[in-house]
Amino acid sequence: MATDAEKITRLEREIEELKAENERLRRALEEALRSAKRQAAPFSRRHPKAHPQKPGGVRRFCPRFFEMGTTDRRTFWAYFFQALAGAEAGLNPNTSIRHSEPESAMATRSEGLLQLAYADHKR
């Protein structure tokens, strides 16, 4: 028959094993939830380019951009354009703003989420 000290030791060891298993399962669940959130839709139905151009100046906004995986990069761009659309148009795709350029004294109109102007097509 086991003594009380042996029972306590066995129970403490079992508690530690259960704590370790609990922590492992928590990490697995957290990773599964994070990967589910990163499901960014592809922007192109074609195969990815072998050597795509690197976006210039992106390090200013995301210093570790070039260390991230493809899914994280797509997530960055999705959030970047969402923030840009929020700043430009308040996330309202029907936003239309009329303003005049002081240099040309010509009225222009910016429309949509990214507030693109018809004059921009000439650039």
Residue 116 has pLDDT above 80, yes or no: no
What's the pLDDT score for residue 84? 81
The string over 32-66, giving b where at least 16 C-beta atoms fall within 10 Å of a residue's C-beta and e elsewhere, is eeeeeeeebeeeeeeeeeeeeeeeeeeeeebeebe
Sketch the domain layout of the chain as residue ranges: 57-123
Q: How is residue 35 written in tokens?
A: 């990967």
Q: How confident is the model at residue 12 (pLDDT cuts 50, 70, 90)?
A: very high
pLDDT number for residue 27: 92
Class of the CATH domain delimited by 57-123: mainly alpha
